Amino acid sequence: MTEVVRQPVKLRLTEIFASIQGESTRVGLPTTFVRLTGCPLRCSWCDTAYAFTGGEARALSDVLDDVAALGLRHVCVTGGEPLAQKYCLALLTALCDAGYSVSLETSGALDIGGVDPRVSRVMDLKAPGSAEVTRNRLENIPLLRARDELKIVLADQADYDWARAMIADHDLAARCPVLLSPVAGTLDPAQLAEWIVRDRLPVRFQLQLHKILWNDARGR
149 binds ligand SAM (CB under 6 A): no
**Span near ligand 2KA by CB under 6 A; candidates 4-12, 20-28, 91-99, 126-134:** 20-28
Interface with ligand SAM (CB under 6 A), residue from 183, 192, 196, 203: 183
**Minimum CB distance to ligand SAM, residue 97 (Å):** 23
DSSP E strands, the chain: 10-20, 30-36, 56-59, 74-78, 101-106, 120-126, 149-154, 178-182, 204-205
CA-nearest of 131, 121, 177 to 154 is: 131
How many residues in the shown chain lie near ligand 2KA by CB under 6 A?
12
Query: Is 85 a binder of ligand 2KA (CB under 6 A)?
Result: no
Question: Least CB distance from residue 50 to ligand SF4, whole Å?
Answer: 10
Q: Which residues are part of a known binding site?
A: 20-22, 35, 39, 43, 45-48, 78, 80
The contacts found for 162-165 with CB under 8 angstroms, 24 or more apart, are: 162/127, 162/128, 162/129, 163/125, 163/127, 164/199, 164/201
List the interface residues with ligand SF4, window 40-99 (CB under 6 A). Answer: 41-43, 46, 48, 79-81
Question: CA 121, CA 19: separation in Å to the nearest integer?
Answer: 19
Q: Residues in the site for ligand SF4, rule: CB under 6 A?
A: 39, 41-43, 46, 48, 79-81, 107
